[in-house]
Amino acid sequence: MAAHGLTCVYGGSDTGLMRLLADSVLESGGKVIGVTVKALRDQEIFHPGLTELHVVSTMHERKALMHQLSDGFVALPGGIGTLEEFFEVYTLAQLGFHSKPCGLLNVNNYYAPLDALLDNAEREGFLKSPHRNTIIRADNPADMLSLIVGKLEP
């Protein structure tokens, strides 16, 4: 990310896959921005190397600021919060509110069940093919980064 001049924007925690990503971006000379809510500020341990940490009042404000600060979105394997955030930005793209790329990093085939669900939604007529095909997929970070960078607006 740093080599492409991209800033990492996430919740700012010092745990999990996002901590590893933040470490990598910082070690490469890049910027990492955390965005959290007041209610979580005292409960979480934040990455000590964050370039910036924004604290907002609500989850809606958090997602809005993360969206504003981001040029694209990639969901790493994660839980329900990851899925909720991904589907929000994907839905906003589908509705034409933004044209930022949205990707699923399918490490170890993590998102195969989700792909099957989306395939079924398309077959059943609940998801149109053009919208289905806008999700960027890659099995490893290097391929995902290349695909995302190729979709960014100049």
Check whether 140 has a pLDDT greater than 90: yes
pLDDT 10s digits, 32-86: 999 999 988 888 889 999 999 999 999 999 999 999 999 999 999 999 999 999 9
pTM: 0.90
Residue 21 belongs to what H/E stretch?
Answer: helix 16-27
Q: Where do the DSSP E strands lie in the chain?
A: 8-10, 32-37, 52-56, 73-75, 102-105, 135-138
- The answer to whether 86 touches 55, Cβ cutoff 8 Å, is no
pLDDT at position 80: 95
Assign domain 1-70 one CATH number from 1.20.1440.230, 3.40.50.300, 3.30.70.3000, 3.40.50.450.
Answer: 3.40.50.450
**Which of 66, 72, 75 minimizes the C-alpha distance to 114?**
75
> Which of 120, 131, 75, 142 lies closest to 102, judged by CA?
75
* Residue ranges covered by each domain of the chain: 1-70, 73-154
The string over 88-102, giving b where at least 16 C-beta atoms fall within 10 Å of a residue's C-beta and e elsewhere, is ebbebbbeeeeebbb
The CATH number of the structural domain formed by 73-154 is 3.40.50.450
